[in-house]
Structure 1
Amino acid sequence: MQTFIRTACEKHRLLLVMTIGATITLKILAMAPPLLLGKIVDSLNDADHTTLRTLLFFTAAFTLAGCIQSMTTPLQTLLLSKLVQRIVMDASIHWMARLMGKDFSQFGTWRIGQFIKSVERGITAHEQLLMFFVTTGFPLCLEFLIVAGAFWYMGGAWVFCALAGLGGCYLYATHRIIRWRRKHIDAVNDQEDELSATLVNTLRAGKSIKLERAERTALQPLNRAFERYANAAVTVAGSGGLLSAAKILFISLSTGGLNYPVSPQGQRVPGPWPAHRCNA
Structure 2
Amino acid sequence: MEQPPQQQQLIRIANISGRYLVFDPDAVSALRRRANTNGTLVGTTPQQPTQNIFLGLPIELRPEEVDALVRAGVAYVVDDVAAHKSALLSLGPDERRAYIGSLRSRKLAAHKVFAEMTAHKASVAATKANKKKRDPGASEGGGGGGKLDGSSAYSRNSQVTSLGVTPTSSVNYVSPDAYALPAEHNRDSERGALCQFMLSNGYYMTPGLRFGARYSVYPGDPLRFHAHFMANEYGWEEEIPILDIVGGGRLATAVKKAFLIGGREPSATRPDSALPSVRSFSIEWAGM
TM-score, length-normalised on structure 1? 0.22
TM-score, length-normalised on structure 2? 0.21
Which structure features the higher share of strand residues? 2
Higher RCO (C-alpha under 8 Å, 6+ residues apart)? 1
